Amino acid sequence: MENQELPPAFEHALAGFGRYLEAERARSAHTRRAYLSDLRSLLEYAASEGLTDLPGLDLGTFRGWLGAQSQAGMSRSTLARRSATARSFTTWAFREELIKVDPALRLRAPKAEKSLPGVLQPQQLVRLLRGMEEAAAEGSPVPVRNRAMVEVLYATGLRVGELAGLDVDDLNPDRRTLRVIGKGNKERTVPYGVPAAVAIDDWLRRGRPLLATGQSGPALFLGSRGNRVDQRQVRTVVKGLFEALGDTSATGPHALRHSAATHLLDGGADLRAVQEILGHSSLATTQIYTHVSVERLRRSYQQAHPRA
């Protein structure tokens, strides 16, 4: 569906907010598209109500916009995200003196439903990684790369974008750590274990040199044409692995991040240490993994205790 034409003042504000997200908030291109899509939806609704400039926006406009989407069947999590986008936008507009009062200060949306993330069982991961090790032993560079990528994703809990952005010199093989540039361009150092170290070394010795070209630069993981591996390629690889595994509903790389966090906590890791490893800005985000572990404990109790 094509975007509706907006009043000039709205188009100007939309472009300005996009520049702010990129220059000051350092949001990724994907995140900026999501914010601007939400904002355009709001401004299209406001225009349909006869508004042509930002000072005309009021709390009723925002509530009407969210209400219309709720009636259309939009999920609570999407409504919560769009409400947050609206508040970020009006905060920015007030700071830029495009509006004299912030109309979204009292805006509230339904709390997003908190679903427990999908987690692979340790034995499933052992089976998956053993199969990848066997495939890598055949010598083709792509299976060697895939094994290294999955080992790193599970060992470190990296986001797929962080994995794709790794350079060779981000590795510290002696300390078995890697430097990551995460959300908001924040840098962190993440440890990894011996299996990941072995897989990375294998990739650097007999995988990467076969794919590297003059265009490869310092990228750690390469696509089949020698360029930096694309996030979509990583997702496709992991999706295929999970489908082949057969006994999991997990579908993408984020399941490896969920699994890493949950298994760390199950093994007794400190919550704040897991927060640092994952690069969460808020401890509350990390705490969802404690719910996963408690839920697993509850299921085990119900299955095993005679009076559960």
Residues 58-69 pLDDT 10s: 999 999 999 888
Residue 297: which pLDDT band, with cuts at 50, 70 and 90? low
State both tokens at 307: 């009076």
Whether the pTM exceeds 0.85: the reply is no
pLDDT of amino acid 15: 95
pLDDT of 298 strictly over 70: no
pLDDT of amino acid 251: 79
Q: Which one of 82, 147, 159, 208 is the catalytic residue?
A: 159
- Tell whether domain 8-95 is in CATH 1.20.58: no
In this structure, the number of other CB atoms found within 10 A of the CB of residue 150 comes to 23
Told to judge if 175 belongs to the known catalytic residues of this protein, a careful annotator would answer no
Nearest to 55 by CA among 95, 20, 9, 112: 9
Residue 246: which pLDDT band, with cuts at 50, 70 and 90? confident
pLDDT of 116 strictly over 70: no
What single DSSP character describes residue 228?
B
State both tokens at 149: 């990528």
Residue 1: which pLDDT band, with cuts at 50, 70 and 90? very low
Q: d(Cα 65, Cα 82) in Å, to the nearest integer?
A: 10
Average pLDDT over residues 204-227: 96
Q: Which one of 183, 188, 235, 296 is the catalytic residue?
A: 183
Residue 155: which pLDDT band, with cuts at 50, 70 and 90? very high
Q: Where are the alpha helices (DSSP H) in the chain?
A: 8-23, 29-48, 59-71, 76-95, 122-136, 141-156, 160-164, 194-206, 208-211, 231-245, 254-266, 271-278, 283-286, 288-304
Query: What count of Cα atoms within 13 Å lies in the side-chain half-sphere of residue 13?
Result: 28
Q: Are 18 and 32 in contact (CB under 8 A)?
A: yes
Cα first-last separation, the chain: 53
Nearest to 102 by CA among 113, 88, 115, 85: 88
Q: Which one of 82, 208, 263, 280 is the catalytic residue?
A: 280
Average pLDDT over residues 115-122: 72
pLDDT of amino acid 117: 55
Domain spans of the chain?
Answer: 8-95, 122-303
Told to judge if 258 belongs to the known catalytic residues of this protein, a careful annotator would answer no
**Is there a shared CATH topology between the 8-95 domain and the 122-303 domain?**
no
Told to judge if 159 belongs to the known catalytic residues of this protein, a careful annotator would answer yes
Q: Which one of 87, 257, 258, 263 is the catalytic residue?
A: 257
State both tokens at 186: 């924040």
Q: Which CATH class is domain 122-303?
A: mainly alpha
pLDDT of 75 strictly over 90: no
Question: In degrees, to the nearest 5, what angle opens at C-alpha 150 toward C-alphas 147 and 153?
Answer: 150
Main-chain phi, psi angles of 74, to 5 degrees = -70, 140
Burial class (CB in 10 A: 0-12, 13-18, 19+), 209: exposed
Could you give the 3-state DSSP secondary structure of residue 27?
coil
Q: d(Cα 220, Cα 216) in Å, to the nearest integer?
A: 9
Higher pLDDT residue, 94 or 304? 94
Told to judge if 280 belongs to the known catalytic residues of this protein, a careful annotator would answer yes
List pLDDT tens digits, range 37-55.
Answer: 999 999 999 999 999 999 9
Question: Which residues have C-beta within 8 Å of that of residue 64, sequence separation ≥ 6?
Answer: 45, 49
* Sign of the C-alpha dihedral computed for residues 57, 59, 60 and 65 taken in this order: positive
Q: Where are the alpha helices (DSSP H) in 165-230?
A: 194-206, 208-211
